[in-house]
Amino acid sequence: MKVKTQSKKVNKAWLNDHVNDPYVKRAQKEGYRARAAYKLQEIDAQFDLIHPGQTVVDLGAAPGAWSQYLRRRLTPGGAGGALAGCIIALDILPMEPIEGVTFLQGDFREPEVLQRLEQTLAGRKVDVVVSDMAPNLSGIAAADAARITHLIELALDFARAHLRPEGTLVVKLFHGSGYAELVQQFRQTFKVVKPLKPKASRDRSAETFLIGRGLKNA
């Protein structure tokens, strides 16, 4: 009974925080599907990533807040205008359509899904890859770290193969086991590597974002 009571308390506290979260309220007001949009907005503002005319790949896109933000940034005339550029979104979960965004449903870890993504690119080089991918966590630290590392390494492999020489990769990762090794892999791949924990990330969250710019061996 104690476990259930504790669980209820935790859920109630989370729900209370969520309802009163200023980013949640702002997302509802501004039409974003999730507060995560403001994480990408802050990263974009700091690093000047997203511009009309670009090709952008959004990995781990559902429910679509990052793709919504990208859609707005690639629309010079404002909301409802013509998309200037290309957005390809991918997630293992379904996602409600967003006008102008090509959505592929599938597991990025599966070779045939990666092949579909490459076919959709049709030879175009990518300006920016953004990844909010995260595995379902088991609570077993070593197993979870391995799953997170695997996803980020796949995103790195994709970036090496498809980014323009001056392109950018943004990934979500977590402080803990494997973090230093992933940062080292970024430094081996990119000329500029910067970590950032956006203000929109909850204080108690271990998540941070790693930004890599300019391929070293392009």
- Per-residue confidence (pLDDT) for residue 118, from 0 to 100: 96
The reply to whether 77 and 10 lie within a common domain is: no
DSSP string, 68-85: HHHHHHT-TT-TTS---S
Annotated catalytic, 12? no
Nearest to 157 by CA among 205, 206, 111: 111
Contacts for 202 with CB less than 8 Å, ≥ 6 apart: 17
pLDDT in tens, 54-88: 999 999 999 999 999 999 999 987 656 789 999 99
pLDDT in tens, 19-43: 678 878 888 888 899 999 999 999 9
The reply to whether 157 and 181 lie within a common domain is: yes
**The one catalytic residue among 9, 12, 29, 172:** 172
The reply to whether 100 and 147 lie within a common domain is: yes
The reply to whether 23 and 77 lie within a common domain is: no
The reply to whether 24 and 93 lie within a common domain is: no
The reply to whether 10 and 81 lie within a common domain is: no
- The residue written with tokens 């707005």 in the block is 72
The reply to whether 99 and 14 lie within a common domain is: no
- Per-residue confidence (pLDDT) for residue 4, from 0 to 100: 42
- Per-residue confidence (pLDDT) for residue 5, from 0 to 100: 43
Contacts for 188 with CB less than 8 Å, ≥ 6 apart: 216
The reply to whether 2 and 42 lie within a common domain is: no
Q: Average pLDDT of the chain?
A: 88
The reply to whether 15 and 81 lie within a common domain is: no
CA 121 – CA 135 distance, rounded (Å): 25
pLDDT in tens, 81-130: 789 999 999 999 999 999 999 999 999 999 999 999 999 999 999 999 99
CA 19 – CA 162 distance, rounded (Å): 40
pLDDT in tens, 154-208: 999 999 999 999 999 999 998 877 889 999 999 999 999 999 999 888 777 778 9
What is the number of structural domains in the chain? 2
Banded pLDDT at 7 (limits 50, 70, 90): low
The reply to whether 173 and 81 lie within a common domain is: yes
CA 185 – CA 179 distance, rounded (Å): 10
DSSP string, 10-37: HHHHHHHHHHH-HHHHHHHHHT-SSTTH
State mean pLDDT over 4-24. Answer: 60
pLDDT at residue 135 greater than cutoff 70: yes
Q: What is the domain extent for residue 4?
A: 1-30
- Per-residue confidence (pLDDT) for residue 11, from 0 to 100: 66
CA angle, 158 then 113 then 215, to 5°: 5
The reply to whether 110 and 176 lie within a common domain is: yes
For residue 172, the domain's CATH number is 3.40.50.150
Q: What is the pTM of this model?
A: 0.88
The reply to whether 122 and 17 lie within a common domain is: no
